[in-house]
Every structure is written in C-alpha cells, then in structure tokens.
Amino acid sequence: MARYGVAVAFGAPSGADGQPSLAGTGEQAAVSLAPVPASDDLALHLDGSRPSPAAVVTKGLTLGFGKRTVLEDVDVSIPRGRITALIGPTGSGKSTFLRTLNRMNDRVAGFTRRGDVELDGESIFGSHVDLVTLRRRTGMLFQRPNPFPMSIADNVLAGVRAHRIAKKAAWPAIVEARLREVRLWDAVSERLGDSPFRLSGGQQQLLCLARALAVGPDVLLLDEPTSALDPLSVEAIEALLRELVPALTLIVVTHNLAQARRISDQTMFFFEGRLVEFAPTDRLFEEPAQPETARYVTGRIG
C-alpha cells in the first residue's frame, strides 16, 4: 500500500511570523508530493496524485459486540481534505465507527464486523495490511489528552523514532516544526526536557496533536478532542483543525452541535445504530432531509 501525502522532512518555508507554513491550506496550494519520506520540506502538502477524491469509503459496514449490533449497513464516501463531523446521541455508533477506521476495535472482546473500509481505494482489512503502518496513516486524538510518560520533546518524536522516519540529526527540527504548527513552541521551547504532565490540559492536547502530525498521517481521527478542555483551549484547537485542511482529512466525533457547525465541511448523523443522514454541514443543520435529523439538531431528541 503506497503512502503519499503529508510529509515529514526538512527545510520548510516560513511565514511572516517565522513559523513553518502549513503549505497546502490555501487555494493556491501545491498539490504534488513524492512518496514519504522522499520529500525535502517540513510542511504539510495535499497530494494531487490520489486515485479518487474520497479518502475513506465504507461498504455495507455493520459493527457489533457479541450478539448486539451497534451500527448497521453503512455505505459512505468521506471526501479527502475536508473535516467531517460525526454527531448523534450517546450509543448511536459514532465512536465505534471512528475506531473501526484504524482497526482499534479489533482486540475488543466480542467485536464483530461485516462489510469493508477502504483507505485510498484499498481495504484496511486485507491480509497484506500492516497495522502499524495503517495507524501511522490514520492518526488518532482522544477525548482526554494522553501524553506519554517521557519528556515533551520525546513525546513529539515517539512515532518518528518508532517508524524510523528521520535521522537523529533531524529530530530537533521536527520537534520545533510540529510544536510551532500547534502554537505550543513559545510556551515550551525552554523546557523541552520537562514532563508533559506539567502542562495544562489544553497544552497537553496540543502536544498530542503535534505527536500525531509528526509521523505524517493522511487522516486524523478525533474522538471528542475538546470535550475535556476549557473554552480558550477549545477555540485554539478548533482554529488549528481548520488550518490542517486540505492537507489532511479530519473525521471528528463531537457531541457539541455548535462545534460541528463551526469546524466541519460535512456532517454524518447517527441515530439508533444507523447512519441517518450525511450532507454538507450547513444543509444538514438548516434543511435536514430526515425527520430524525431535524429533531436532533433542534434539541427535541438526544
């Protein structure tokens, strides 16, 4: 499974503020990139050589635990380079769907699956698929920050080392570039050797985002990434997420309907184990096609 897309390399162009730019986030973005790690800059780029405009496609996807079906017969095509929000009441299947996209449910007792998930046109359940590589391509950010018990710098580099992405001499540049991208560099540049547990909750989540970006994912899966944070941290992270597209594809579970409207390009509404509606976010909230959707977005159910 060839891997293209977000690069982790060196010598990124800088913006007016001296920070490495997020190339690929504007209308004039460059859209070609050699296979990772052959690129020679640190920026995020959208790759125009992908086989289709869809990053993730599910076909007849039915998920469950034991004899209980959690989500049934989901056929959906999630576009590349956009933010897709997953909304719906607790227990409707959102997180189970999200965690299936990088096979995090595989080892959960009793987990069952029918149907398929394709990443860039190839099944993620094929016998040739390496789970380590898959999870590098589909990074994950959880509800609560989960920094590793190592230094701030080592947290950023954890995946870089594990995947042998870059030589040791390049590690400081990677640490600085990723921390600048998440707007954390100024706060931690003088204490990169400190424990991340001395950071605030919002800073810890930014560090986890930097760690996820450092390995060059194609897709980021985010499971209520701001629900445990204060409003200022929420605002900062939402702004960052918008900057990551179209270089990355983001799929975000959120119970915050206002957040879904603020950050997403399209929204999937799950209800009682079904994908009820998938539409551009403005249309889904303002002109929902299904009565269940209308009741949920207006607060009458859920």
* Residue, of 29 and 207, whose pLDDT is higher: 207
Q: Which domain, by its residues, includes 154?
A: 54-297
- pLDDT at residue 6 tops 80: no
Is 302 domain-assigned?
no
The pLDDT value given to residue 11: 28
pLDDT tens digits, one per residue of 130-146: 999 999 999 999 999 99
The pLDDT value given to residue 50: 57
Pairing of strands 219-223, 138-141: parallel
Is 13 domain-assigned?
no
Is 33 domain-assigned?
no
Is 36 domain-assigned?
no
Is 252 domain-assigned?
yes
pLDDT tens digits, one per residue of 53-104: 899 999 999 999 999 999 999 999 999 999 999 999 999 999 999 999 999 9
Pairing of strands 274-280, 266-271: antiparallel
Q: Which range (43-52, 146-155, 185-194, 286-295) has the least confidence?
A: 43-52
Is 16 domain-assigned?
no
Is 107 domain-assigned?
yes
pLDDT tens digits, one per residue of 212-225: 999 999 999 999 99
Burial readout 215-235 (b: 16 or more C-beta within 10 A, e: otherwise): bbbbbbbbbbbbebbeeebbe
Distance CA 112, CA 293 (A): 27
| CATH code assigned at 221 | 3.40.50.300
Is 194 domain-assigned?
yes
- pLDDT at residue 29 tops 80: no
* Inter-residue contact 264 to 252 (CB < 8 Å): yes
In total, how many domains does the chain have? 1
- pLDDT at residue 169 tops 90: yes
The pLDDT value given to residue 32: 24
- pLDDT at residue 300 tops 70: yes
